[in-house]
Amino acid sequence: MMTNSEKWAKAFRNQNLFEFNFDKNALMWLKVRVVCRGKLIQQFLKGTDITLSSSKIAEQNVELFEKLETMPNAMQLLDTFLNERNNEWYNAMGIDEKALKDDLYKVRHYAWGGDQNNSLDKHLVSRYVKIISSYDKLLNKQSEIADNAWNYVLTSWYNNWTSYLIESLFKRHEKVISAIGEIKSVDFFLCNYPIDLKVTFFPNQYMEEKLKIKLGKKELTWLKQEAKKVGVTVERSQSDAQQLYTLSEKLMEIGENDILETLKNKRKEVIADAQSNVQELMTWLYANQGEMRFGAENRLFVILVDSANMNESWKMKRAFSLIEPKVKNYLDNFNEQSLKEINFVFQGKPYRSLADVIFVVK
């Protein structure tokens, strides 16, 4: 017969994470998994009367869980330990958060050095290493390569520290217990619901799909047709993004702002529709994940939007005067009804999750 430890390990591996929401034993299994990381397990054991005979982490994980199953105060022990270590972690990091927030405003552009998957090494190999056979020609590309590397580092730095600060807003709240062991699929426990935090921008593909419905055609096709009426055209050889940018710039130059205003208002309508129907947006976000990063865990999406200029939404990640009150208000008012059940299909297989969205819109 399968033990509880084996049962929950199998469910976790198979992305049957919905089961962990309503079973205290499953929740304890997750918290033990958080504790069983590196030196954490030894630190946890020091505060208890528990001794383990196993020496390997994987075996200690199972043994600790099975011992805690028999203890009535097991969950309290785990929660107290995780809360204490979370506070220690923030102090140990020694981050000057005020200075960091100011430094984030020194970033003036958001550009990945790499290909569309943000992979710098693959980009450099495919564009320079395997294409250019002449050393002198490669040498002439030195500044270009350096710019690519710097853009990658700068944008990664910006994303890392804005994510750190936003996640900190959640982890310091009294309703939240941090998953300090950093296990896959769980950033923290919110009122004992395991949560994966996703800070993201309003999805471009979702916007395109909804705009196509509102405009009756693809955004670029619509803009080309409207621009042509006033004598503005664009080279078809350019990428779609470049054509949209070129048309917008040309229309502004000749004062044809009504066309661009119509498009802007349609985008705002899509955002407003998404805010009033979060279930549809969240289902779309789950169903349209990349295969490499697929997960069916509970998710809390923080969606950042500059509705006046969506290309500038990256700046919203440092807009803490807007983000902080939204997060605090959400957590203060969080209850058992806050998370919505999401049913979605990925590669032909059905999944269930709990999720919600915090919109931060400028």
Q: Which of 8, 43, 46, 44 is CA-nearest to residue 25? A: 8
Helix (H) / strand (E) element for 308: namely none
DSSP 330: H
Q: What does the pLDDT read at residue 256?
A: 87
pLDDT tops 80 at residue 89: no
* Residue 166, amino acid: I
List, for residues 259-285, the tens digit of each pLDDT value: 999 999 999 999 999 999 999 999 999
Crossing angle of helices 240-253/257-276, nearest 10°? 130
The answer to whether 357 touches 303, Cβ cutoff 8 Å, is yes
Q: Half-sphere exposure of residue 20, counting CA atoms within 13 Å on the CB side?
A: 30
Q: What does the pLDDT read at residue 117?
A: 56
Q: What does the pLDDT read at residue 114?
A: 63
Domain-by-domain residue ranges, the chain?
108-159
pLDDT tops 70 at residue 257: yes
pLDDT tops 70 at residue 115: no
List, for residues 186-238, the tens digit of each pLDDT value: 999 999 999 999 999 999 999 999 999 999 999 999 999 999 999 999 888 88
Helix (H) / strand (E) element for 233: namely none
Helix (H) / strand (E) element for 68: namely helix 57-68
Q: Which of 168, 158, 153 is CA-nearest to residue 103? A: 158
Q: 95 pLDDT band (50/70/90 cuts)?
A: confident
Give the mean model confidence (pLDDT) for residues 8-26. Answer: 93
Give the mean model confidence (pLDDT) for residues 235-243. Answer: 87
List, for residues 121-158, the tens digit of each pLDDT value: 888 888 899 999 999 999 999 999 999 899 989 999 99
Q: 54 pLDDT band (50/70/90 cuts)?
A: confident
Joined tokens for residue 179: 């998953």
The better pLDDT of the pair 119, 274 is held by 274
**What is the layout of strands, in order, in the sheet containing 299-305?**
176-178, 188-190, 193-201, 299-305, 349-361, 340-346
Contacts 24+ apart (CB under 8 A), 245-252: 247/223, 248/223, 251/227
Contacts of 54 (CB under 8 A, 6+ apart): 60, 62, 63
List, for residues 307-343, the tens digit of each pLDDT value: 888 889 999 999 999 999 999 999 999 998 999 999 9
Q: What does the pLDDT read at residue 37?
A: 82
Q: What does the pLDDT read at residue 297?
A: 95
Q: 182 pLDDT band (50/70/90 cuts)?
A: confident
pTM, rounded to two decimals = 0.89
The torsion angles phi and psi of 62, rounded to 5 degrees, stand at -65, -45
